[in-house]
Every structure is written in C-alpha cells, then in structure tokens.
C-alpha cells in the first residue's frame, strides 16, 4: 500500500467479532482480509492462519510470497491473493527464467495452497513519483508470470493481474463518468487488454475514508461510513453509500477504456473458445483489494467509526452496486495494526485485531 497521504485511497480493515459471542460468516459477503506484516510484535504465520480459520475468514491477501505463509496455508482451504512486490517487477519483466523460478518456488512447490490471484505490483502508476519507475515493467512481468503459470498447469486456476489506487482515476463523480487520468490511460490500456484476453479481474484499492477526508464539505460522514439513510441521488440513480459510488466509478473507467476495440483485438493467449466468446461480452470483474477505516491517528479515525464502517461493509458487499448488482469480492485492510508501517499515524491503525490476535471491537455480522 502506498505510504503517502495522497496515495491513500488505499488501506483497509474489517472487524470480525469476539470469539465467544459472535457467529461470523464471510462466504456470503465475499469478504477477505489483508495480512500486512510491517510490525515487530505480530503473530507467526501459522498462528495467523489459525486466526483466519477461527473466524471463518476464507480469503487472504498478502504483500509478498513469503514461504512461511505459504507453508502455513497448506490444506487450509483459504484462498490466497498474493502481490509480487514492486521492487521485484523489473527482474521478472526482463527475464522469463526469473518468472519461471518465481512460479516454481511459490506455486509449484505449494500445490495444496489455493493461490487464486497473483497481482504484479501494487498501485504502480506512471503519474506517481514513488512508483512510476516500475510502470514500464508491469505488463511484461504479467505476461512472463502468466506464461509460467500456464506451463505449470495452473491456467484458469490462478489469475494474473495488477492493482491500482483511486488516484489513477481523473474523474470519479458522477460514477457513470468515471475515467482514468490522461497520463495513466496509455499505461492501463494494454494491461486491460491482457486482462480481457485472460479473463482476469481488475483490482483496485478503494477507501471512502480518504475520499471523505479530502472532501468533507461535499461528502457526508454517514455516506462515507456506509450508514443506512445517508444515500444520495446521482443523475436519477440512488447510491446508498460512497463505497458503491467509488466501485461504480472504477467500473465506468474500465468499461470506457475497454470499448469494442479491446474486446475484439485483445490477445486471447491460451483461451478456450468459450473463454473467447465470454471475452467479447464481459468486462473484467472489479475486485476491491483494500478498503477500511482507521481506528486512531487522524481526522474521524476512532473505534466507533472503524467498527461502523466495517460492519456496514460486511452488509453491503453482498448486494452489489447500482451498475453491477452482484456480490463484490472485497478485502479489508488490515488484519493487524502494524507499528512499523511508514507514513501517517492512521497507517498504523487500520487493524481489525490487536497484534496478539484479540479483536479490537465486537461486531455482529448476523
């Protein structure tokens, strides 16, 4: 996740409840949790997997392919969404053997881990000074990893994608007019063509909290916290909450860029005829790879608001947005408060659990 404030339409969290009193079901709402490890007081990977199981969390996102995590996930039934760190992208882009080695070390050596997604980079953007140097390598690295995954016999089972932040959009309101920035669109167009050709999802980090903080005069806090009865009408469409509006803005930007040309000329790679037919009539699914609300450290960052946002999020992701009324696969940032995470103080306070595994607050997901 980006560490500067302007890049913080990204970071997230959710809440799962007290062990003895709550019954949590993450299968309906498509909820996963991001497992960040920028802390010196966190549980071991094996203890973390036990924590996921105990709270029935069936999806995990990690920011590096650490073998200790992969080993702990063996046979767990937890779906994994792993990021290839930005610093490693150039090497994979330049050398197909590096991609083959990566897949061997982190996929083939762990056949009993349900690796669902590989995100090549996190929030890389040519318009972001902190990540722009990696932008030219993202698509070549995606191609090399995809080919290595196909050679490993995992085509269709493990999808190759990348992840953007909301700062990649030049316009996000009204949602139907969502569009990528002019200086980002040339970078994303061939990447989207790859996603269309391989039936991969489009991943985005979406934070109503930061949208609210930067636009408090225009955005109601209840709307940003996904509270009932705080929705707004936008060009005749009722948006219950800001999360829905932001997801639909991403969908609109993707659909606007794809258009008929990418649907008919995108590389089909090794697709079946059925996949090719589907490619012509369906844009990539948007997966929300980070979202959440800090419980301390900044404006409107407190336990009450964090609990409110995450509880409401668990309710709304099952319904889908006005433009796309199907469950939204969503990952909460983050599992723990991370005391060594750089950036603003809020960055260290997105956890759902304390570092010892105790819930920060109780939640009722029934």
Count of other CB atoms within 10 angstroms of residue 229: 7
Give DSSP secondary structure letters for 236-259: TEEESSHHHHHHHHHHHHHHHHHH
Residue 56: per-residue pLDDT? 85
Where do we find the tokens 């920011």? Answer: 63
User: What is the pLDDT averaged over residues 237-263?
Assistant: 90
Please tell me the distance from the alpha carbon of residue 244 to that of residue 266, in angstroms, as a whole number: 29
CA-closest candidate to residue 335, choices 57, 106, 82, 9: 57
Q: Looking at 115-124, 246-255, 264-273, which range is the least confident one? A: 264-273
What pTM was estimated for this model as a whole?
A: 0.88
User: Residue 236's pLDDT band (boundaries 50, 70, 90)?
Assistant: very high
- The encoded tokens of residue 77 equal 């039934």
130 phi and psi angles, rounded to 5 deg: -75, -25
Decide the pairing of beta strands 330-332 and 232-234: unpaired
pLDDT at 308 over 50: yes
Catalytic residue numbers read 123, 290
pLDDT at 22 over 50: no
DSSP, collapsed to helix, strand or coil, labels residue 273 as helix
5-348 in CATH: which number?
A: 3.20.20.80
Q: pLDDT tens for residues 196-229?
A: 999 999 999 999 999 999 999 999 999 999 999 9
Instruction: Give the list of residues 6+ apart from residue 101 with CB closer than 8 angstroms, or none.
Output: none
Residue 271: per-residue pLDDT? 42
Q: pLDDT tens for residues 35-76?
A: 999 999 999 999 999 999 988 899 999 999 999 999 999 999
Residue 128: per-residue pLDDT? 97
- The encoded tokens of residue 1 equal 């996740």
Decide the pairing of beta strands 232-234 and 237-239: antiparallel
Question: Taking all residues of the chain, what is their mean pLDDT, rounded to a whole number?
Answer: 88
Torsion sign, CA atoms 122, 123, 124, 129: negative
pLDDT at 244 over 70: yes
Instruction: Give the list of residues 6+ apart from residue 304 with CB closer than 8 angstroms, or none.
Output: none
User: Residue 261's pLDDT band (boundaries 50, 70, 90)?
Assistant: low
Decide the pairing of beta strands 286-290 and 179-180: unpaired
User: Residue 360's pLDDT band (boundaries 50, 70, 90)?
Assistant: very high
User: Residue 362's pLDDT band (boundaries 50, 70, 90)?
Assistant: confident
Q: For 264, which DSSP code?
A: H
Q: pLDDT tens for residues 178-197?
A: 999 999 999 999 999 999 99
pLDDT at 141 over 50: yes
Residue 18: per-residue pLDDT? 31
User: Residue 346's pLDDT band (boundaries 50, 70, 90)?
Assistant: very high
Exposure b/e, 98-119, CB count within 10 A at least 16 = b: bbbebbeebbeebeebbbbbbb
Give residue limits of the domains in the chain. Answer: 5-348
- pLDDT > 70 fraction of the chain, expressed in percent and rounded: 85
């Amino acid at each position: 996740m980006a560490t500067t404030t302007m890049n913080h339409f990204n970071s997230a969290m959710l809440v799962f409840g007290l062990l003895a009193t709550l019954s949590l079901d993450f299968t309906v709402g498509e909820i996963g949790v991001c497992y960040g490890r920028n802390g010196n007081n966190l549980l071991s990977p094996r203890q973390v997997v036990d924590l996921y199981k105990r709270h029935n969390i069936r999806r995990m996102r990690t920011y590096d392919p650490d073998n200790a995590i992969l080993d702990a996930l063996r046979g767990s039934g937890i779906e994994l969404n792993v990021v290839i760190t930005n610093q490693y992208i150039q090497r994979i882009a330049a050398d197909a053997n590096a991609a083959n080695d990566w897949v061997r070390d982190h996929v083939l050596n762990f056949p009993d881990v349900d690796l669902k997604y590989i995100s090549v980079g996190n929030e890389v953007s040519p318009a972001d000074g902190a990540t722009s140097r990696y932008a030219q390598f993202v698509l070549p690295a995606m191609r090399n990893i995809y080919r290595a995954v196909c050679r490993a016999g995992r085509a269709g089972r493990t999808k190759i994608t990348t992840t953007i932040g909301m700062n990649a959009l030049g316009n996000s309101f009204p949602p139907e007019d969502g569009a990528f920035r002019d200086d980002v669109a040339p970078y994303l167009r061939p990447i989207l063509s790859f996603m269309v050709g391989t039936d991969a999802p489009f991943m985005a980090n979406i934070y109503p909290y930061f949208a609210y903080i930067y636009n408090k005069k225009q955005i109601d806090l209840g709307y940003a916290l996904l509270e009932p009865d705080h929705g707004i009408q936008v060009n005749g469409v009722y948006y219950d909450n800001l999360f829905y509006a932001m997801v639909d803005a991403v969908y609109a930007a993707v659909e606007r860029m794809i258009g008929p040309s990418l649907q008919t000329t995108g590389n089909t790679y090794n697709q079946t005829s059925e996949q090719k037919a589907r490619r012509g009539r369906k844009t990539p699914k948007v997966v929300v790879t980070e979202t959440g609300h800090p419980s301390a450290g900044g404006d409107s960052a407190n336990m009450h608001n964090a609990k409110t946002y995450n509880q409401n999020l668990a309710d709304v992701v099952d319904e889908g947005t006005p433009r796309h009324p199907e469950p939204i696969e969503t990952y909460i940032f983050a599992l723990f408060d991370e005391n060594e995470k750089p950036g603003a103080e809020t960055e260290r306070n997105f956890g759902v659990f304390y570092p010892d595994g105790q819930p920060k607050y109780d939640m009722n997901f029934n």
